[in-house]
Amino acid sequence: MKPHELFADRTALESEVRRLGAGIRFEPDIRDALTPMTIGGRTLGNRFAIHPMEGCDGTLAGAPDELTFRRWSRFAAGGAKLLWGEAIAIDPDARANTRQLLLSEENLPALERLVALARKEAGPGAADLLIGLQLTHSGRWSYPTPVVMFHDPALRNNGRIITDDELDRLQDRYVAAALRVRDLGLDFVDIKQCHRYLLSEMLAARTRPGKYGGSLDNRTRFVREVLTRIASEAPDLLRATRMNFYDGVPFAKNPETGVGEPIPGCTSNYLEADEAVEALRSFREAGLQLVNVTAGCPYFNPHVGRPADREPPDGYAAPEPQLIGVARHFSLAEAAQRACPDLPVVGTGYSYLRHYAVEAGEANLRDGRVSIVGLGRGAIAYPDFARDVTMDKRKVCITVSYCTSLMRAKDNELGQYAAGCVPRDPIYARLLQEIQKNAKRKTPA
């Protein structure tokens, strides 16, 4: 079924959900999503979240730049009460691209202005708005020098294997970075464990020897110890993590069909939901107060993490109906919520549902499958979705992966294009047009 048919009305969408057995419900009367909740003694004004969406728009030094301020301003004014700030590298060597934010002493004044702007733009609603930052080490995807937890023949970027001694010292960097987050006046810090960046890869490192690999106890050791230290040294800072609950194996495009297929020769280092549940319980015992559940890796199986109607330029046609991917996200969040009913769980996977995203979130909230409904790509396209509540189909994300096309584009003086919603925002439409024109000029006649 084509997108214009699938999303023509709720009846068509629900019919396709039933046909696929996807287990997705919709509640048009938005009620539970508008109720406040308490997280670690803080009041969250509603159950809507902005996921940590990078704009690849910082300065070369890693400070927020003009488009970063613009994006955060739009998010803060949009009505969602959980602003989950994007990935910010804890070290210059840990950045995923030349324009990723960097948490350094030199960048603190600009980051303070960014946080102050967000609170100002939230207006009278700032009192029950919670803002955080996601601390990251890009690991295998670090630019220009990747480090990995293990070598995997199915993956590119098999860089140098990081040692246990280096990981011990890296704990100190994470704790120091968390203290900086606290001093910036933010409400929470996220220890990023998703999308196969370093700590996500650690969570799956079954074949790695030493104290950070092998058993699940070893694979969760780093984050458990970091959480414990943050709780001791910054008790007023809420402790969160965005973590994969399912990795999935790498996929590659079949050259004849264009459809993604699993790459042969993978190791066993891919996380499944049963281990993720046990890991989450151990993190909660170590002081975790908020979890954001996600899946997959944007570099080797993007259909898992972000179901889309058009694949990114380095991707492949989806090997499954996109609604199956949405349902997988919902089931993973539910597994986390059922395992830890006292832990607020932020769910993922809503953007593909367009103007029915909030209705699906409302149904999941009523069914106890999740505590908070988050939008990522959908929020880039439609930052004020939570203020509107009844979503306008003329403003929603249409999942054509142009934002990813911008993220993959590196051929400018900064080594990275800024990323945003091409169909809904003329700033990013012009950037994509520039990329396309440059590509045409370089194509031989």
Specify the DSSP element, H or E, that contains 290.
strand 290-294
Tokens representing 426?
């003329």
Query: How many C-beta neighbours within 10 Å does residue 232 have?
Result: 10
Any idea what the CATH number is for the domain that residue 294 is in?
A: 3.20.20.70
Query: What is the C-alpha to C-alpha distance for residues 18 and 169, in angstroms, rounded to an integer?
Result: 51
Angle at 72 between CA 294 and CA 310, to 5 degrees: 50
- Whether 418 maps to a domain, the answer reads no
Q: How far is CA 177 from CA 193, 260, 435, in A?
A: 16, 38, 35
- Whether 432 maps to a domain, the answer reads no
Query: What is the C-alpha to C-alpha distance for residues 52 and 43, in angstroms, rounded to an integer?
Result: 20
What one-character-per-residue DSSP string does 178-205 give? HHHHHHTT-SEEEE-B-TTSHHHHHHT-
Query: What is the C-alpha to C-alpha distance for residues 116 and 76, in angstroms, rounded to an integer?
Result: 11
Digits of tens for pLDDT over the chain (445 positions)? 788 889 999 999 999 999 999 999 999 999 999 999 999 999 999 999 999 999 999 999 999 999 999 999 999 999 999 999 999 999 999 999 999 999 999 999 999 999 999 999 999 889 999 999 999 999 999 999 999 999 998 887 889 999 999 999 999 999 999 999 999 999 999 999 999 999 999 999 999 999 999 999 999 999 999 999 999 999 999 999 999 999 999 999 999 999 999 999 888 999 999 999 999 999 999 999 999 999 999 999 999 999 999 998 889 999 999 999 999 999 999 999 999 999 999 999 999 999 999 999 999 999 999 999 999 999 999 999 999 999 999 999 999 999 999 999 999 999 999 999 999 999 999 999 999 998 888 777 5
- Whether 426 maps to a domain, the answer reads no
Which of 39, 144, 58, 70 lies closest to 107 in space, CA to CA?
Answer: 58
- Whether 294 maps to a domain, the answer reads yes
Which of 356, 345, 364, 261 lies closest to 303 in space, CA to CA?
Answer: 261
Q: For the chain, what is the domain count?
A: 1
- Whether 269 maps to a domain, the answer reads yes
User: Rounded to two decimals, what is the model's pTM?
Assistant: 0.97
- Whether 1 maps to a domain, the answer reads no
- Whether 406 maps to a domain, the answer reads no
Tell how far CA 337 is from the center of its chain: 18
In this structure, is the dihedral angle defined by the CA atoms of residues 110, 114, 115 and 120, taken in order, positive or negative?
positive
- Whether 245 maps to a domain, the answer reads yes
Query: What is the C-alpha to C-alpha distance for residues 402 and 422, in angstroms, rounded to an integer?
Result: 6
Burial of 264 from C-beta contacts in 10 A (0-12 / 13-18 / 19+): exposed
Range of the domain at 163: 23-397
